[in-house]
């Protein structure tokens, strides 16, 4: 079931509070670890989440929070294309085990090695 407007508003408000919080802006994790902030969502909410993301960016900007919006999916595809291996990966994807494909992509997209 696609989220209701109330669900979307509640999620948007929660994300705004988290992303504009001092803890997020100061990159404070638990036990001095690098923090990870994850917003899980159902696949059918993907399109509405894109709209909500744009609204969140605008709201944060209006609140004086500088936003760096990086789409990791698009960035990953671009890196694979730049390295000339995107088409090869698409060709082997169907017959490759998920764990093997994950390992391949993690190696190819390792930020410390390639960015």
| Closest C-alpha among 105, 68, 78 to residue 89 | 105
Identify whether residues 11 and 42 lie together within a single domain.
yes
pTM, 2 dp? 0.69
Please write the tens of the pLDDT for every residue from 14-51: 999 999 999 889 888 777 777 778 888 888 888 888 89
Note whether residue 56 is domain-resident. Answer: yes
Please write the tens of the pLDDT for every residue from 64-86: 999 998 888 899 999 999 999 99
Note whether residue 67 is domain-resident. Answer: no
Identify whether residues 9 and 57 lie together within a single domain.
yes
Identify whether residues 83 and 55 lie together within a single domain.
no
**Under a CB-based contact definition with an 8 Å cutoff, are residues 114 and 79 in contact?**
yes
Looking at the structure of the chain, the number of domains it has is 2
Range of the domain at 41: 5-62
Helix/strand/coil for 7:
helix
């Amino acid at each position: 079931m696609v989220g209701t407007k109330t669900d979307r508003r509640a999620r948007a408000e929660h994300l705004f509070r988290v992303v504009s919080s001092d803890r997020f802006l100061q990159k404070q994790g638990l036990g001095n670890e690098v923090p990870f902030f994850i917003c899980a969502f159902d696949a059918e909410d993907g399109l509405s989440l894109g709209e909500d993301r744009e609204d969140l960016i605008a709201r944060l900007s209006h609140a004086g929070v500088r936003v760096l919006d990086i789409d990791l999916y698009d960035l990953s595809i671009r890196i694979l294309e730049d390295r000339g291996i995107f088409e090869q990966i698409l060709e082997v994807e169907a017959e490759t085990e998920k764990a093997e494909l994950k390992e391949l992509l993690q190696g190819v997209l390792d930020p410390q090695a390639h960015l």
